Chains A and B, each alone.
Chain A
Amino acid sequence: MLFEAVKLALQAIQRNALRSFLTVLGIVIGVGAVIAMVTIGRGTTAKVSADLAQLGSNLLFVRPGQFGPGRASTDAKPFNTRDVEAIRSQVPGLRAVAPVAQKSFTVIYGAENRQTAVNGTDNDYFVTQDWTLTGGRQFLDGEIRSGRAVCVLGETVRDKLFGRGDPVGRNIRVKNVSCEVIGLLRPKGQSSTGADLDDVVLMPLRVYHRRLAGNTDIGSINVSARDDVDTAKVQADIERLLRERRNMLAGQIDDFSVRDMKQLAETTMATTQMLTALLGAVAAVSLLVGGIGIMNIMLVSVTERTREIGIRLAIGALESQVLAQFLVEAVVLSLFGGLAGILLGLGLAWLATGGLRVPFVLDTPIILIAFGFSALVGVVFGYFPARRVAHLDPIEALRHE
């Protein structure tokens, strides 16, 4: 009997192809939108939290100037190597303190060249950035002290200049400085803001200062605190030390800032999660609209088919048999629409996450909820209007024009 009901339903669906298509379309779009939005949001969140993990532990980012509403002071005095030494020697609980002087230069190998960010720093940078090598080595103490021109390449730069080749031991030119490649950074991919983290060249700070920058300024200092210390205390210690060294008066606003990167990342994370929720809500509205669409089409369809119901009742269909047919019809349509919507949503999410370079994270509960909702809407709005008609006296239904 159920089998018959399914067959009758399939026949009816096929006979009313356009109407069936429109019904399904509402579900497909609703379910598809919810699943696409939520999956993209989940992927972004996953990416941000992966970035957070990649930041290295307890990273503090120190730079000149204040950032915040109405406080931009770009002419603040840069740091120097003595500031870095002072932090190293006077602030307790630190794992690594890396000076960073950065500017964009053209790097050249043979006929290839690329404009890239060149960082003057030291081996502490590998610690603060949690960065390991896939080949070669870090800087030697001698190279750091003497200012020998050596460099470590990010994957993007290596790829552009050397293609498949191994650059370790070769000489590239940075601006007009010949520089031996000693190491390769493990690729990190994109940051959550889409910047290419591998588009970078590292050099010892001294050679950078002497041969490229022409000054001894340090643009920023990356500090990694030990796991067993409180980063808030480290932050306060650094602030006190730098205020002292920069001869600041009491009450004067810091002309530098110390930012806890973890806090920053957590803020970004919260924002991303809120955005995901928002996307989900927008999509839920489209699912609701899809549901109302189904309801409309089902209502019209049942009215249109009142005569058909009358004929079926007259020739011996029980009310329950007519209802079973309509119910199965609604279930089949919404299942089909729900499945198509899931495929569409996952397909869109797959394309979008690929484009955004964020991971594709399946959110099973959302899929089930979206699917369940569409099925519920389809069934409720397919069944109840049909029940009203199937309960008429056959002659009432037959008289319907």
Chain B
Amino acid sequence: MQEGSKPPIIEFRGVTKVYGTGHAAVHALAGVDLAIAEGEFVAIMGPSGSGKSTAMNLIGCLDKPSAGDYLFKGVSLGQLSRDQRTMLRRHFLGFVFQGFNLLPRTTAVENVELPLIYRGLPQAERRAMAMTALRRVGLEGREHHTSAELSGGQQQRVAIARAIVTDPVVLLADEPTGNLDTKTSREIMELVSSLNREQGITVIMVTHENDIAAYAGRIVRFVDGKVESDAPDREAA
């Protein structure tokens, strides 16, 4: 863990998430403590159903913990309203999903522009920023293709461009390569780790595969809703 004066960008204190009630209650997270410093590249691993996605959704403010405290840059988010959590996502977080989650029948550049629209940026500026982001993920020439006209790897690149076009502090990726073949997965991981190295974006990524996790500097293992192990990745530089 980091020793400096700066608080971790993300900190869980005894975070619990329970789905359902009574006998049907599932403890997806059962008291998780976790701190991630700015600029880290963390891989979250663990068996299916161990609570990885639940943890990611809580970090991403897409969902609320049942108990425990979540601090972002040292500020507890427990009391935030719905709109305040949206503003936090808008200004600090970028999402990449396993299923890409692009808007159908919409071109790459329009998808990438989307988060900028909600920030109220004017059209011309938006377009320019979206084009730059698409270039950064290596998609020049594909700006006006719709999702149906792009391969899986290209769609995930569009999703990454959409996530980084707002210059987020944290990039959250839940099994970003889960739907991609090995070669394409490598390319996507090269891209993600370069964003971490060159832009200093904090990356938190869920994966099942060891060679994907190997891109990270730290691996957190979940078992049954608890952190089982948390260690620097020996293979990573």
Contacts and interface: CB of A to CB of B under 8 A. Distances in A.
Interface of A: 1, 4, 8, 11, 15-16, 307-308, 310-321, 393-395, 398
Interface stretch (B68-76, B113-121, B207-215): B113-121
A326 to B, nearest CB: 14
Given A1-B120, A4-B117, A394-B62, A313 B105 contact: no
Nearest to B97: A398
6 contacts: A312-B114, A314-B101, A315-B162, A316-B166, A319-B83, A395-B63
B60 A314 contact: yes
Interface in B68-113: 82-83, 86-87, 89-91, 95, 97, 101-106, 110
Nearest to B83: A318
A393 B85 CA distance: 11
A314 B62 contact: yes
**Interface core residue of B64, B83, B103 (most chain A CB under 10 Å):** B103
Contacts of A16: 105
A155 to B, nearest CB: 63
A8 B89 contact: no
B57 A395 contact: yes
A344 B161 CA distance: 46
Contacts of A394: 62-63
A14 to B, nearest CB: 9
B118 A307 contact: no
A321 B117 CA distance: 10
B57 A316 contact: no
A321 B82 CA distance: 13
A16 B104 CA distance: 10
Contacts of B86: 313, 316-319
Contact of A15 (B89, B106, B117, B118): B106
A40 to B, nearest CB: 42
Contacts of B115: 315-316
B95 A315 contact: yes
Nearest to A15: B105
A113 to B, nearest CB: 70
A11 to B, nearest CB: 8
Nearest to A308: B103
Interface of B: 57, 60, 62-64, 82-83, 86-87, 89-91, 95, 97, 101-106, 110, 114-115, 117-120, 162, 166
Nearest to B88: A316
Contact of A317 (B102, B104, B106, B118): B118
A316 B90 contact: yes
Contacts of A395: 57, 62-63
Contacts of A314: 60, 62, 89, 95, 101
B62 A311 contact: no
B82 A319 contact: yes
**Interface core residue of B90, B114, B118, B119 (most chain A CB under 10 Å):** B118
State the 9 A-B residue pairs at the shortest beta-carbon distance, nearest first. A316-B90, A395-B62, A315-B115, A15-B105, A394-B62, A395-B63, A317-B118, A316-B118, A395-B57
Contacts of A321: 118
B64 A393 contact: yes
Contact of B62 (A15, A320, A393): A393
Given A11-B106, A315-B95, 13 more contacts: A1-B120, A311-B102, A314-B89, A315-B89, A315-B118, A316-B86, A316-B90, A317-B86, A318-B86, A318-B118, A320-B83, A321-B118, A395-B62
Nearest to B92: A316
A316 B62 contact: no
A330 B118 CA distance: 20
A42 to B, nearest CB: 45
B62 A315 contact: no
B60 to A, nearest CB: 7
A311 B115 CA distance: 10
**Interface core residue of B86, B104, B115, B120 (most chain A CB under 10 Å):** B86
Given A316-B90, A319-B83, A398 B119 contact: no
Contacts of B103: 308, 311
B121 to A, nearest CB: 10
A320 B86 CA distance: 11
Given A316-B89, A316-B166, A398 B62 contact: yes
**Interface core residue of A8, A314, A319, A395 (most chain B CB under 10 Å):** A314
A41 B89 CA distance: 59
Contacts of A4: 117, 120
A307 B117 contact: no
B83 to A, nearest CB: 5
A318 B88 CA distance: 11
A318 B64 CA distance: 17
A276 to B, nearest CB: 46
Contacts of A319: 82-83, 86
Contacts of B82: 319
A80 B194 CA distance: 115
A16 B105 CA distance: 9
Contacts of B60: 314
Contacts of B118: 312, 315-318, 321
**Interface core residue of B62, B63, B87, B166 (most chain A CB under 10 Å):** B62
A393 B57 CA distance: 11
B206 to A, nearest CB: 14
B136 to A, nearest CB: 17
Nearest to B86: A318
Given A4-B117, A316-B118, A321-B118, A307 B62 contact: no
Contacts of A8: 117
